Amino acid sequence: METTKTHNLERAIIHINVTDFAAAVERVLDRRLDGRPVIIAPQGAARATVYDMSEEAFRAGVRKQMPLSQALRRCRDARVLPPRLHRYGQAMGSLFKAALPCSPLIEPGDRDGHLFVDVTGGSRLLGPPADVAWRLYRRIRRDLNFTPIWSLGTSKLIAKTASRLVKPVGEYIVNPGDEAALLAPLPLFLVPGITGSDLARLSDFNVTRVFQVNRLTAGQMQILFGDRGRLIRNRLRGIDPSPVCPVGHPLPRVIQNEEFGDDTNDRARVERSLYRLVENAGRQLRHQFLAARRIGMVLEHTDGVRRIRQTAAKPAVANDFALFAHALRVLERAWTRRVRLRRMTLICDRLTHPPAQRPLFASERRPAEKEERLVTALDRIRHRFGAEAVAVGRTLAA
């Protein structure tokens, strides 16, 4: 508890969350949608999936990334609208402007209705942080017609967790020193940064709540998760020193690259190198409790020509196998020339907390859980015996 106070006592972070943001924007523009289920999804696509949905559709069983055909079977009276990303970007800009009088330290999400606002040290000028949060809430309701959730905590982790406790409407203030008490009774999936593989690993020991993990010693956590165990242990005690990154600040991303000693167009060699890059990027992401929503690649050829391609990852990924599947698709799109390759760069960005909720159906859950468990086991072995202690077959030369 003392460690938590040392890290967080002076900080005051407001989290603003306009739930079901895309649907909320559509309702502001068309009041006829109020009170009825709304699904945001591309229409006419053979494999269309749900981009967002209203609370009414959520209660009917609709979830993000669910096939649209399945969503409509669960919610037959839903109004389906195509995603209009430019509108959501404009709405995020309006939210940002509403928060500017409160602080220069504002970290917006990616068109998702989330804002972190750091009001640390502003009490003399703006008043107590709770009053600042109330004024911001009222300004957003009055000027933008949104009704956001808001929370106030001593870190981004605590503020975001508190927001999840009052969804879809409400507010929550966590006073300094109350972080561990807030987290202790919660189910693990509510804590940002705890992944599906973490949940699966702990469920093997019938551990599902934060206070149960907090009973484990540092040594026991290291046995379960390797070096990541210490980070998980700190996180479940409310320790999160990560700063609020303002607009204009370089966005966090993970970059891995390989320069071929002798330029090559050997497909097997390139794929081996790509998988090693993916493994390194995945370890970094998991170490930081992050997942990538976009995978990019830069290929540089012998003649100096560069090819840059990228793809979105939905949901966000930090699993080596899922990362490699996305990276391989990007490689196919970028590698269109016969000229030899000199350098390959893998970029994972648009980072977010990985989804912790597990799929509802066993047929969807088992393959994903198997991969997650394997990646976790590989991480533990490499932490204990070194990065070269175990390797995937595809990384080995013939």
Secondary structure (DSSP) of 282-338:
HHHHHHTT-EEEEEEEEEEETTS-EEEEEEEEEEEE--HHHHHHHHHHHHHHH----
Residue extent(s) of CATH 3.30.1490.100 domains in the chain: 254-395
CB atoms within 10 A of CB 247: 13
Residue extent(s) of CATH 1.10.150.20 domains in the chain: 182-235
* pLDDT at residue 9, as a whole number: 46
Cα separation, 14 vs 319, in Å, equals 31
Residue 342: in which H helix or E strand, if any?
Answer: strand 341-352
Residue extent(s) of CATH 3.30.70.270 domains in the chain: 1-177
Q: What tokens does 260 get?
A: 């071929």
**Look-up: residue for tokens 């808001």?**
150
CATH 1.10.150.20 fits 182-235, yes or no: yes
CATH of domain 254-395: 3.30.1490.100
Tens of pLDDT, residue by residue, the chain (398 residues): 444 443 444 799 999 999 999 999 999 999 999 999 999 998 776 678 899 999 999 999 999 888 999 999 999 999 999 999 899 999 999 999 999 999 999 998 878 899 999 999 888 889 999 999 999 999 999 999 999 999 999 999 999 999 999 988 899 999 998 999 999 999 999 998 888 778 888 888 899 999 999 999 988 998 888 878 888 898 999 888 888 887 666 667 899 999 887 888 889 999 999 999 999 999 888 888 888 889 999 999 888 888 899 998 888 888 888 999 999 999 999 999 888 999 999 999 888 877 655 555 455 555 666 777 777 777 777 777 777 777 777 776 65
Query: Strands 341-352 and 254-264, how do they pair?
Result: antiparallel
Dihedral (C-alpha) 247, 252, 253, 254: value to the nearest 10 degrees? 170
* pLDDT at residue 43, as a whole number: 78
Q: What is 1-177's CATH topology? A: Alpha-Beta Plaits (3.30.70)
